[in-house]
A and B are shown apart, each in its own frame.
Chain A
Amino acid sequence: GAGVSQSPRYKVAKRGQDVALRCDPISGHVSLFWYQQALGQGPEFLTYFQNEAQLDKSGLPSDRFFAERPEGSVSTLKIQRTQQEDSAVYLCASSSGLAGSQGSYNEQFFGPGTRLTVL
């Protein structure tokens, strides 16, 4: 079966441009997470969706970052007016169960990520 897919795999943007990163989770997965991974570091949480509801966006670094999952499947992470510090790999992960203290037991399946480079 298909895993989590992300597109584009690589994106180069000039500073100030807007970008949109897409995530296709595993079909039927309720939970969807976005993470940011800087070079040589572990992934850092950005935001969480349960179906179409964005229940946690505490990790979004600024109001230039916006995520949506309008139909509860595909998700898009949008970054407006990109800055050099936004350069990173953006990972999407999906999980079959609900998050929360019980949902912490569910493994997250990661996509290959989108490598964003802001010049």
Chain B
Amino acid sequence: GENVEQHPSTLSVQEGDSAVIKCTYSDSASNYFPWYKQELGKRPQLIIDIRSNVGEKKDQRIAVTLNKTAKHFSLHITETQPEDSAVYFCAALTSGTYKYIFGTGTRLKVLA
């Protein structure tokens, strides 16, 4: 079945450094790719998303890139801050279906 692989599972960076999380999806028909942030004990919240007709999207310190040929997409966080510490999930959705397929999550720790 469809799946989304996410790496790394844990990531520690120094405050101010950049963090990159990568996801690879299996269904070539996937065309919507959201990223969620889940802080400890809280609900997942959408932080950025990208559609298949776009290669890159930025929102302040956060950016997402998509390579449809290779079927992977990445989350980039620049100038990391301690409040960026959380678990980040990627997901893929295929148009016409209801199945959001999630990655296994990346626990990001930003060290002050």
User: Are A and B co-members of a single complex?
Assistant: no
**B residues at A contact (CB < 8 Å):** none
